[in-house]
Amino acid sequence: MADSHYYGLYSRGNRNEVCAPGVPNQRAIDGMDLHKQTLNNIIDISPKAEFFVMGGDEAMTHCNGCDRCNINGEDSGDTSVENAREAELRYELILGEDVYGAITDSAPMIYKLGNHDGETSFGDPNSALDQCDHSDKIANLSHNARMKYLPNPSEVFIGNPEGQYYTFSSGDVQIIVLDIMGGPEDIPQNVNEWTLGTQQLSWFEEVLKTSDRKWKFVFIEHIDGGVTDPNSSISCYFYGRSSLKATDNGEVNGTFLGEQATLHKLMKKYNGQFFFLSHDHVATIGEKKDANNQGDGVYYISGGKSSGVGAPWSKLNCFKDVMDYDNNGVADYNKGIWGSADSGYYEIVTDNNKADIKYIVSDLNSAFNGRTAFEYTFWLNGTNNLPIY
């Protein structure tokens, strides 16, 4: 890494407040109204937020069947972008005054790339392996549009020059944003082919090692590995799904599969506490356990969803199983204890030696909107008030 110092955003001593919505996929059917409700909730319920971490899959420049949008008479298309203007229009949509533009006056907006944001290091539409139609063309169009509309300011963020991954600090918090879609050399066919790449992995370790902040939050689209299902029709994305049970024994006390095992060891070694994942469209939270079922102080948090888009895989038994941390036969996002299938966002508040994390529900029905689905407290000494499992 060129240097090991970090710049701060809105440092306010010992207390920091961060908002992080789930995966929006907002251009899908019925997604936009609920996504706007989530943003309004952030303004009304969490007005002290110092910055706002986007969930990924925002611009949706790579998609199979997006809703069309029309901006000042221009059509953005309804599938993966085919030209530069379509890519630009999708960024203009999310930056509009009635979408993210509504909150950028009060808090900086932090962009994290998702799998539908087009910028992949792999993809060959002529390959039978690439079921999801990635291509260099889509990657280049997506990248150029992001650099035009949402470039990361180099005076604040430290990372790779074009902002796919970066870090910054604020008060007691180190924020680290990783790019899982820019690492693999080819479309991953198993968990071991997912990778951050040598350069990003080395950078990640250096950031964790040299940061002197009490709290370290890592944001990534999906786990660096995941679980496999040979019967899945969405196998190109199934790798990377799940969280704590993507292990050698399929349990929370196992060893992570693939490169995620390396990331987890680095988190433990350098006191990284929180690993935020998007991608799965459900909200769950839990602590990784060691072989003796003792918590090791690293928490994995699935980001939920900020719009009303359902997840077809959430109905699969294999997916429900990997989200059932306590093995009671019910997916934790359906229990109302460990997580939530509702739309919403995370409010994260650190105050000296403790961090409070809550998931606040978004609903177009005012009777249900704004309620807290779950809330837990974590202390710097490694203790927490999570349910025992």
Nearest to 333 by CA among 280, 370, 254, 387: 280
pLDDT in tens, 292-323: 999 999 999 998 888 776 677 788 887 888 89
C-alpha torsion sign, points 246, 252, 255, 259 = positive
Identify the band that residue 5 occupies on the pLDDT scale cut at 50, 70 and 90: very low
Is pLDDT at 291 greater than 80 in this prediction? Answer: yes
Helix (H, G, I), strand (E, B) or coil at 215: strand
CATH number of the domain enclosing 149 = 3.60.21.70
Weakest mean pLDDT among 16-30, 77-91, 161-175, 277-291:
16-30
Nearest to 16 by CA among 156, 166, 170, 167: 170
Is the pLDDT higher at 176 or at 232?
176
> What is the bridge-based pairing of β-strands 354-361 and 339-340?
unpaired
The angle at the Cα of 331, spanning 329 to 334, to the nearest 5 degrees, equals 120
Is the pLDDT higher at 29 or at 184?
184
Q: What is the pLDDT of residue 7?
A: 35
Q: Is residue 261 part of a domain?
A: yes
Is the pLDDT higher at 64 or at 342?
342
pLDDT in tens, 149-167: 988 766 667 888 888 999 9
Q: Is residue 4 part of a domain?
A: no
Euclidean distance between CA atoms 285 and 277, whole angstroms: 10
For the chain, give the mean pLDDT.
Answer: 85
Q: What is the pLDDT of residue 132?
A: 66
Q: Is residue 2 part of a domain?
A: no
Q: Is residue 385 part of a domain?
A: no
Average pLDDT over residues 277-281: 88
Is pLDDT at 3 greater than 70 in this prediction? Answer: no
Q: What is the pLDDT of residue 26?
A: 55
Q: Is residue 198 part of a domain?
A: yes
Which residues make Cβ contacts (< 8 Å) with residue 319, sequence separation at least 6?
Answer: 241, 242, 280, 313, 331
Q: What is the DSSP string of 123-138?
A: --TT-TT-TT---HHH
Euclidean distance between CA atoms 327 and 387, whole angstroms: 13
Q: Is residue 213 part of a domain?
A: yes
Euclidean distance between CA atoms 42 and 47, whole angstroms: 7
Average pLDDT over residues 80-100: 90
Q: What is the pLDDT of residue 8?
A: 39
Average pLDDT over residues 17-46: 77
Domain coverage including residue 152: 16-379
Give the chain's domain count. Answer: 1
Q: What is the pLDDT of residue 155?
A: 65
Is the pLDDT higher at 261 or at 123?
261
Instruction: Kindly state the percentage of the chain with pLDDT values over 90.
Output: 49
Euclidean distance between CA atoms 307 and 343, whole angstroms: 6
Q: Is residue 64 part of a domain?
A: yes
Is pLDDT at 215 greater than 50 in this prediction? Answer: yes
Euclidean distance between CA atoms 232 and 230, whole angstroms: 6
Q: Is residue 389 part of a domain?
A: no
Euclidean distance between CA atoms 99 and 97, whole angstroms: 6
